[in-house]
Structure 1
Amino acid sequence: MRLISFLDAQGRRRLGAQLGDEVADLTAIGLPDTLDEVLRTGALDAAREAAGKAPRVSLATVRHLPPVTLPAKAFAIGLNYLDHAAESNFSPPQHPVIFHRFPSSWVAHEAPIVRPRVSTHFDFEAELVAVIGKPGRAISRERALDHVAGYSLFNDGSIRDHQFRSTQWLMGKNFDATGGFGPAFVSADELPPGATSLQLTGRLNGQVVQQANTRDMIFDVATLVAACSEAMALQPGDLIITGTPAGVGFARKPPLWMKAGDVFEVELEGVGILRNPVIDELPTPG
């Protein structure tokens, strides 16, 4: 099942099941208008059953929203591919490198990501996202995938000069509207367990700049779920943004930064393509 959050022609928030080039409007027949609420209430099966009964609209007419609206937590994982750790001049981590990404820092599929005025070092990172569907604390690795409802895509857009000003990466990873999230939530049963052995690609203006396979992750999805839940209870709708492979802009010689007019795409086999144009931040009035 492939679910999207979107605005309809009247600007109302809706949840839909993507069926080819059409979207079945699940909200129109009584389901919640966010995936967050569907996950909290355990209504994924109801959404699957309702898809065939819901009125349909053309996918081309909808405006995407991020698949999850307001997750309680959005864990991001650093240095989770050997080649990326090497190009970043870090030893492979012995434990997952975990930081946080706030919802204000991302936008939906096809919405512009924003290069802030204070920096020209705007970098790209193609990533897989795991979406939690079942709550739990201290989850074992063996049971971890039972807690994953599905997957999506993320561009962990990074303001590198701010990221590397200290040993804490949070500031450079959380400028407003610098990341992309979407376009859809794909339920776990549509993909291999743990979304492993899938081809992940990042493209800047149509040119491949990152390419890897999810089996190359140092810490797989099950390990990440277990690690994150060791400290705090996971809730339905929580995200784990699982890390990026080599090819990022700051590690290139010369560096390759995103700028206004660029388009960055994240593609994952079986999930789809997340596309975001790049714009410059507008001057502050006054």
Structure 2
Amino acid sequence: MRIATFSHGSQTLYGAITDKGAIALSPHFRQWPSLREVIEAGALYDLCLAAGEHPVTHPKGTFDYAPPIPNPEKIICVGVNFPDRNAEYRDGSAQPAHMSLFPRFPRSFTGHDRPLIRPPESHMLDYEGELAVVIGRGGRRIRAQDAYDHIAALTICNEGTIRDWVRHAKFNVTQGKNWDNSGAMGPWLVPFTAPAQIDAARITTRVNGEVRQDDAVANMLFPVRQQIAYISTFTTLVPGDIIVTGTPTGAGARLDPPQFLAPGDVVEIEITGIGTLRNTVEDEA
């Protein structure tokens, strides 16, 4: 089942996505204003059941996708999390003892089939295809062996980056990672029900049809279980929090010569069992 947040005119709704369009379910669950509250209530399964009882309300082409979780308390991203990504830095460093982390703000993401925005301050807009996990059951100091019990759903992230702005300071990349609408999340949530949804997944990124990134989630330096355990050591995870788990080698900045995104480009990120997140690129008006 695919559960999404979408808009129609001035309305923001959530519901199930079918091959024919969207089934708006939020009017039937007014106690939960958004998917964040649905997840907090542990009610994604209720939406899946309800989807079978209602017809399509919004045919394909009559609605716009939004990032699935509106205003999550935290979006935490894991950097340099594949062996080949570590090698791309060409600094001779071994695998780090601890994972690199940085925050992203909700405003930095747009939805599926919406344009990524290249700002006038820099044309070094890059793509990064990643698996994103949505926390369903919060906790602090979660054990790695229990981590999957805290996941509600999976989605796809294009963790778009303004490359030269990640080098503006010695030890942080936050300013290069948070330009408005520079990344994307979606198209929908897939409820997490089995470890294989993560352990057997593969991330493939295409730019204008050309494969740029292709790797298995199983090759991560710091697996998802370890990410949840480590992050929850220093901060309490709450329902609706999102962990963006790391991108494979092949981002545009690491190609020779570098190939950054330009207006008219189409970026597609496909993850096994979830679907494909698609975005075009436009210059900021």
TM over 0.5: yes
Which residue number corresponds to residue 20 of structure 1? Answer: 19
Which residue number corresponds to residue 59 of structure 1? Answer: 60
Secondary structure of residue in 2 paired with 1:61: coil
Q: Which of 190, 196, 201 lines up with 2:204 in the alignment? A: 201
Q: Please state if 1:187 is matched with 2:191.
A: yes
Instruction: Kindly indicate whether the alpha-carbon contact (under 8 Å) linking 1:29 and 1:54 is maintained by their aligned counterparts in 2.
Output: no
Q: Please state if 1:89 is matched with 2:90.
A: yes
Q: Which of 139, 145, 150 lines up with 2:148 in the alignment? A: 145
Aligned equivalents of 1:138, 1:194: Cα separation in 2: 24
Secondary structure of residue in 2 paired with 1:85: helix
> What is the one-letter code of the residue matched to 1:50?
A
Instruction: With the length of structure 2 as denominator, give the TM-score of the two structures.
Output: 0.94
Instruction: Kindly indicate whether the alpha-carbon contact (under 8 Å) linking 2:65 and 2:111 is maintained by their aligned counterparts in 1.
Output: yes
Secondary structure of residue in 1 paired with 2:61: helix
Q: Which of 158, 167, 172 lines up with 1:168 in the alignment? A: 172
Identity %: 37
Pairwise mapping of residues 61-140 of structure 1 onto structure 2 (< 5 A)?
A: 61-89=62-90, 91=93, 92-140=95-143
Which residue number corresponds to residue 48 of structure 1? Answer: 48
Instruction: Kindly indicate whether the alpha-carbon contact (under 8 Å) linking 1:265 and 1:276 is maintained by their aligned counterparts in 2.
Output: yes
Instruction: Kindly indicate whether the alpha-carbon contact (under 8 Å) linking 1:35 and 1:68 is maintained by their aligned counterparts in 2.
Output: yes
Aligned equivalents of 2:246, 2:52: Cα separation in 1: 35
Aligned equivalents of 1:268, 1:193: Cα separation in 2: 13
| Corresponding pairs, count | 280
Q: Please state if 1:211 is matched with 2:210.
A: no
What's the CA shift string for 1:211-250, capped at 9, x where partnerless? 1111111111111111110011101000000010000111
> What is the one-letter code of the residue matched to 1:88?
Y
Once the two structures are TM-superposed, the CA of residue 67 in structure 1 deviates from its matched residue by 0.5
Structure 2 gap ranges (5+): none
What's the CA shift string for 1:4-47, capped at 9, x where partnerless? 10113x43111111233332221132353421110122222221
Instruction: Kindly indicate whether the alpha-carbon contact (under 8 Å) linking 1:183 and 1:273 is maintained by their aligned counterparts in 2.
Output: yes
Aligned equivalents of 1:138, 1:264: Cα separation in 2: 37
Instruction: Kindly indicate whether the alpha-carbon contact (under 8 Å) linking 2:148 and 2:195 is maintained by their aligned counterparts in 1.
Output: no
Which residue number corresponds to residue 34 of structure 2? Answer: 34
Structure 1 gap ranges (5+): none
> What is the one-letter code of the residue matched to 2:88?
E
> What is the one-letter code of the residue matched to 2:6?
F
Instruction: Kindly indicate whether the alpha-carbon contact (under 8 Å) linking 2:20 and 2:56 is maintained by their aligned counterparts in 1.
Output: no
Q: Please state if 1:7 is matched with 2:22.
A: no
Aligned equivalents of 2:180, 2:271: Cα separation in 1: 25
Once the two structures are TM-superposed, the CA of residue 193 in structure 1 deviates from its matched residue by 3.9
Once the two structures are TM-superposed, the CA of residue 270 in structure 1 deviates from its matched residue by 0.8
> What is the one-letter code of the residue matched to 1:265?
E
Aligned equivalents of 1:33, 1:206: Cα separation in 2: 38
> What is the one-letter code of the residue matched to 2:90?
N
The Cα RMSD (Å) is 1.4
> What is the one-letter code of the residue matched to 1:142?
Q
Q: 1:127 to 1:277 in 2, by over 3 A?
A: same
Instruction: Kindly indicate whether the alpha-carbon contact (under 8 Å) linking 2:109 and 2:182 is maintained by their aligned counterparts in 1.
Output: yes
